Each structure stands twice: as C-alpha cells, then as structure tokens.
Amino acid sequence: MGLFSRGKSKDRTDTGSVDADPADGGFDPIGQDQAVDEGNDDANGDANGGTDAGTDGLAGGRDGAAGPLDRSAVYDDSDYLNLGAIWLRGRLGMELRLEVNEQEQQITGVTAVIGESAVQLQAFAAPRTEGVWVDIRNEIAASIVDAGGTAEVLTGEFGEELLTRMPQADQNGRTVFMPARFVGVDGPRWFLRAVVSGRAAIEPAAADAVHEVIRTAVIDRGDEAMPPRELLPLRLPDAEGTDQAEGADTTGATEGPDLNPFERGPEITEVR
C-alpha cells in the first residue's frame, strides 16, 4: 500500500467558505489580496531568505514551543519526507494525502491521517516584520459565522486557535455540526496553517498524535521573494524519500475518500 493518495481540490464539497481552494475561486481563508507595502517588504527581504530562527528551532520566537521548525534549524534531514515547502517526519500508521488542483496541476496541501483524526497542512509566505495569524483567524471566524456555523477562540499548545463547527445536512436530512480546529503558527517569513479534524478536533486525548505532526514539521521558506499569504510550493517526494517513508510509516494505512475537515469525524446533532 502506498504512502500517498491524491485528492482533487476542485472536487471538495460542502466546505462552504471555509476550506475552498483559492485557486478554484472559493473563499480564501489565507486572504491572498495583499497590501502593496507588504509585498514590497517581502521582496526586499534578506538574500538568504530572512530566516531568523535560532538554533533552538523555535518558529517565530514562540517561547517554550518545540516546533514547527524553520529549515535553518534543521541540520539532518534524513528523518524527513521532503515535500518542498513542508517536510514531515513519518510515524507508524500515518497516511499522507496530497491535495491537487487538477486545473493548475498544483499541490495545494498535505493531509496526515492517523486513525480517526487528521491534520491538513498548508504553508504560506509572510512579511518579515509581523505575523499574519491574528488577521487570518478573524477572517476565518467571520466567514464561518456568516455561513451559519460557530467559531470560538481557544488557547492551545500552539497559542490561540479557532474551534469551529459548520452546519451540514446528514444523509437523513438532519442538521449536524462538523467540528474542526484551525491552528496557526507564524514563523520567520512563513505562516503554517493546520486544520485538525476528526476526533482530535474535540478530544484532547486523541490530539497528541496530530499535534506531533505539527510540532515536528519543518518549513522550507526558500529564498525567492513572494507576496505575503502566497501559498508556498509543494511537490512530490523523490523516489528514495518515498521508499524510506513507506518502509517505516505505512502500517495500517488505508485508502479512503478525499478528506476535508468537515467530511468525517464526530458530528454534533442539532436538537430542535
């Protein structure tokens, strides 16, 4: 069984304005309409990519945090699967699913599925001088509330995050609310968005495995000047990297339907 399955971004359904792929014309929770001065700030960044993380690998100076890490803090990449802007450390029983925009032939995100939980990861360019998570969190919350859902700011392992519930109709026509947690990490000239779904979205005991995926992720911002909030490029791993990951991490992996944060996991039924 292979490590990867590919999902078509354009085929996602029932994600409302929260999880639609920007390339497909849906709501962009990362807000790619940037101010001109932010773009100039990034374009004038250091030639070395402006990665100012110290050797302790803390992303964006988050005191006491262990990750995710900036590329500059990692000296041995042998334990990682290199997907371009995001490197992931494999673990037993984890399946990775790449989400592909077929129209543009672009990989738009990677989802790690562990048991009944999952976490979708996307990395974006960010300004050198300030983080973007606060603004993005507010944009996501406003969109979800406008769509009839709920959004609550909580403090978790990675700082302030967003616990959301989106209304959907189940197969019996009843209204159910699908939970998901949006986690954001501001790093040196990059921003990582993680969407936790399934049991890990609402059960702390189930969350550690997917949190470990976030904690150990490495973001390779690259040296190219990019507008803030632009998606950092992902790619398929080379054959050697895939073989190494499959040998260690595909136990228990199963093929399944394309995953988005509101298609699987616990449901909360509305009582009228």
What string of H, E and C letters represents the secondary structure of the chain? CCCEEEEEHHHCCCCCCCCCCHHHCCCCCCCCCCCHHHHHHHHCCCCCCCCCCCCCCCHHHCCCCCCCEEHHHCCCCCCEEECECEEEECCCCEEEEEEEECCCCEEEEEEEEECCEEEEEEEEECCCCCCCHHHHHHHHHHHHHHCCCEEEEEEECCEEEEEEEEEEECCCCCEEEEEEEEEEEEECCEEEEEEEEEHHHCCHHHHHHHHHHHHHCEECCCCCCCCCCCECCECCCCHHHHHHHHHHHCCCCCCCCCCCCCCCCCCEECCC
In terms of phi and psi (left: phi > 0; alpha: psi -120 to 50; beta: otherwise), the region of 222 is left
Task: Please indicate, yes or no, if residue 259 is contained in any of the structural domains.
Answer: no
Task: Please indicate, yes or no, if residue 122 is contained in any of the structural domains.
Answer: yes
Task: Please indicate, yes or no, if residue 76 is contained in any of the structural domains.
Answer: yes
Task: Please indicate, yes or no, if residue 70 is contained in any of the structural domains.
Answer: yes
pLDDT > 70: percent of the chain = 63
pLDDT band with cut points at 50, 70 and 90 for residue 77 = confident
How far the first Cα of the chain sits from its last, in Å, is: 44
Distance CA 269, CA 257 (A): 23
Task: Please indicate, yes or no, if residue 109 is contained in any of the structural domains.
Answer: yes
Neighbours of 238 (CB within 10 A): 11
- Domain extent for 30: 4-251
pLDDT at 180 over 50: yes
Task: Please indicate, yes or no, if residue 108 is contained in any of the structural domains.
Answer: yes
Tell me, what's the pLDDT at 268? 36
More confident residue, 252 or 91: 91
How many domains does the chain contain in total?
1
Specify the CATH number for the domain of residue 107: 2.60.120.1690
Tell me, what's the pLDDT at 250? 31
Task: Please indicate, yes or no, if residue 23 is contained in any of the structural domains.
Answer: yes
pLDDT band with cut points at 50, 70 and 90 for residue 29 = very low
pLDDT band with cut points at 50, 70 and 90 for residue 194 = very high
Question: Per the structure block, which two tokens stand in for 42?
Answer: 């990034």
Backbone phi and psi for residue 173, each to the nearest 5 degrees, phi listed first: 85, 5
pLDDT band with cut points at 50, 70 and 90 for residue 129 = confident
Distance CA 222, CA 190 (A): 10
Please report, as a single letter, which amino acid is at residue 140: I
Task: Please indicate, yes or no, if residue 220 is contained in any of the structural domains.
Answer: yes
Mean pLDDT of 117-144: 94
Distance CA 66, CA 56 (A): 8
pLDDT > 90: percent of the chain = 48
Tell me, what's the pLDDT at 196? 97
Mean pLDDT of 88-117: 91
Considering 30-34, 65-69, 180-184, the range whose residues carry the highest mean pLDDT is 180-184
pLDDT tens-digit series, residues 212-248: 999 999 999 998 999 999 999 999 887 555 544 443 3
Task: Tell if the pTM clears 0.85, that is, is over it.
Answer: no
Mean pLDDT of 149-178: 91
Tell me, what's the pLDDT at 42? 46
pLDDT band with cut points at 50, 70 and 90 for residue 65 = low
